[in-house]
Amino acid sequence: MSETRPKQLLHLVFGGELDSVATTQFKDLDKLDIVGIYPNYATAYAAWKAKAQGTVDNAQMRYFIVHLHRLLDPEATAPKA
């Protein structure tokens, strides 16, 4: 009997200080904070929220969630014609 695992929907959480609050241009790419890669949105969101709340005093610090599964398999998330 084969074991079925849930589909992995990988998400990357990362952030850094921006040049301006009006853009997503980072001040220094060498100082990007790669928080981690997570198996689903819920765990990625929890990690993002913790990092974002920890840097709330710096208006130029931003964290993002990237849907890696959409980049790895774009056909799976493309709208059906």
> In this structure, is residue 4 part of a structural domain?
no
- Name the average pLDDT for the chain: 89
Residue 74 has pLDDT above 90, yes or no: no
Residue-wise pLDDT for 6-27, tens only, equals: 778 999 999 999 999 999 999 9
> In this structure, is residue 73 part of a structural domain?
yes
> In this structure, is residue 16 part of a structural domain?
yes
Residue 31 has pLDDT above 90, yes or no: yes
- The number of distinct structural domains making up the chain is 1
Tell me the residue range of the domain where 62 lies: 11-77
pLDDT (mean) for 61-72? 93
> In this structure, is residue 6 part of a structural domain?
no
**First-to-final CA distance of the chain:** 37
Residue 30 has pLDDT above 90, yes or no: yes
Residue 79 has pLDDT above 60, yes or no: no
> In this structure, is residue 71 part of a structural domain?
yes
CATH of the domain at 69: 3.30.70.2400
Signed CA dihedral, 38, 41, 69, 1: sign only: positive
